[in-house]
Structure 1
């Protein structure tokens, strides 16, 4: 009898050890996935790469059904930079922005700690507003950098037991710290990139950035077999504005011209100041006729409204525009030579617009 009891006890111990071993292997796999996720986060060199990692890798590594991210973006500064760097934010519906901490609407009792529990539309709806299917349990993780709240990471599961109020949060807090640090790093990197590629007066691309983007777009147009158009724009009689109203007023006109041009463009288009009163626009997937329509809208927006000057009232101005188009059948050979020729043709068309009396659009032959 004693032997049977001992054998049964040994059997139960072996089963228990087997379960412990299975759980250890399971935990090891989980830790391995988290380590891989952390390495991907740390290795991300751009905002897009980091966001891609959060939304594509985190759900798998942490067995999550829903992941979203809410960032505090004062005066839309971050969104403006990302858009100017040609990041289409519509690619990331799970990424949301709020203007301040109040709008973020974290529960007041959190004290910068993760909030875990059952999903409540009233309390958590804004964090999962873009999700078609709402989670059952959630973890709202504040993202803190240097005692400053920069947003929150929102984790959701379709299982009620996944996140409960009595769960330990050390692991989630550590993940939030890593993500907050990586976010701040890539955002600062994007800001530095933006500064290096932006004209400081008008806040549009500088010449170096336009030339870089032109090569990129010529390559993309070649692969996808579509036309691209280049506009060369020059403010008419700009020297007279400086002479009559002063250089500060000339700067006012330059900034407003850039703003009016940009208002007529798509996110995928590129606007840059080439120097002085000259601007260049690159229109992707745009033939000559469509480019002419965009140019005419720009011309009318400049000529149709006066320019309010910060120091000396108002003035009127016009702009001349030359257009050259690179069709798919002509997009072959050395891309730098093609870019130079496209720009030269647009410049020659601009010269024709000037010769014909200014305040007009001319197309390259």
Structure 2
């Protein structure tokens, strides 16, 4: 036996041991990074912060070439909860389960995609032009339901392959899904505190807060701001003649008509009783008149369905005012719209009055 053989074996064992130690240290560092990420996910304060953490900071922390987040949003709940949309990067909000089923089928486990396998899935997950060579697709599951997916992509063909473990990725997906659900529940509670429970429009408290912001923005950036006061005509007679449940149903349906008439960024609130207020940022007088008349005519034409299945008619009066140049406070705009509404009532109701002049 050659005397060098034992020495060679010892060197080989040392190299093997060092390799194992290096792998252990790498796994320890990976575990530390994942642990820190999980702690941050649990502590996020908003959906925007959560999206940034998953799509920007994860990509930088783990040396990824791409990160995508798909979230199921059939009712537009996430769209409302992310007022900054379009944001960069933005999650992809899905109206139905189809895209998620295309990625995962009936499985609820992480999928690793290596070169030469499932190329169509790579294109679907990142876009045809992304040119990712390997990827991890993480399903986001809560209470047995697939609510979205998180995609990590790499131009390194060896980054993700079938032999790679998915323990860390599975745990990350579970924590991310919990964080998303937590943020949605928090958003639901927040919205409940600023929404009128009967009509679905914002409540007076939220309007008082938001109106000051809109006023400040309009003054600073010198864009027009319109205010509408809307009041259901002879509402007391509806309550007295048909009962308060019918009156509530009329209010609910009018609230829905108002919301359907507005753009993203407009604000509608129930101001009190049968009175609604609408703010239209970046809208001139002609545009504001068009909105007011659209709402008024919708109410005039609607057969209001009562809880018993019957129908009745109602009308609405509208007062319109534009933010005056040099206004010192939002109260000036609100007061002008209120006076215009009073004038509409005085002239016979079921009309829009802007600055004391009826809309023809």
Q: How does 1:5-16 map to 2 (within 5 A)?
A: none
Aligned residues: 350
Q: What displacement does 1:181 show?
A: 2.0
| 1:350 equivalenced with 2:346 (yes/no) | no
Alignment of 1:241-260 (within 5 A): 241-260=238-257
Structure 2 Cα separation of the partners of residues 190 and 160 of structure 1? 40
CA contact (8 A) 2:51 2:91 kept: no
Output aligned runs, 1:112-151, within 5 Å. 112-118=108-114, 120=118, 122-123=120-121, 127-128=125-126, 133=130, 135-151=132-148
Which SS does the other structure have where 1:330 is aligned? coil
In the TM superposition, 1:269-308 aligns within 5 A as 269-308=266-305
Separation in 2, partners of 1:247, 1:199: 17
Match of 2:353, SS state, is strand
Query: Quick one: structure 1 residues 235 and 102, their matched pair in 2 at CA, closer, same or farther if it must change by over 3 Å?
Result: same
Aligned to 1:44: 44
Instruction: Find the aligned partners of 2:341 and 2:43 in 1 and give their Cα distance.
Output: 46
Report the 3-state secondary structure (helix = DSSP H, G, I; strand = E; otherwise coil) of the residue aligned with 1:57.
Answer: helix
1:64 corresponds to: 64
Partners of 1:359 and 1:86 in 2: CA distance: 37
1:94 equivalent in structure 2: 91
Note if contact 1:72-1:101 (Cα within 8 Å) is conserved in structure 2: no
Secondary structure at the counterpart of residue 104 of structure 2: coil
**What is the aligned partner in structure 2 of residue 335 from structure 1?**
none
Change (3 A) 1:182 1:201: same
Structure 1 position 307, deviation (Å): 1.8
2:337 matches 1:341: no
> TM-score, normalised to structure 2's length?
0.82
Q: Which residue of 1 aligns with 2:227?
A: 230
CA RMSD of aligned residues (A): 3.6
Cα deviation, residue 108, structure 1: 4.6
Deviation digits for residues 109-154 of structure 1 (CA, Å, limit 9, x no counterpart): 74x321111363655665446x753533221112234555432212
1:179 and 2:176 aligned: yes
Secondary structure at 1:267 match in 2: coil
Q: Distance in 2 between matches of 1:165 and 1:196?
A: 48
Q: Distance in 1 between matches of 2:311 and 2:124?
A: 45
Contact residue 100 and residue 148 of structure 2 kept, 8 A:
no
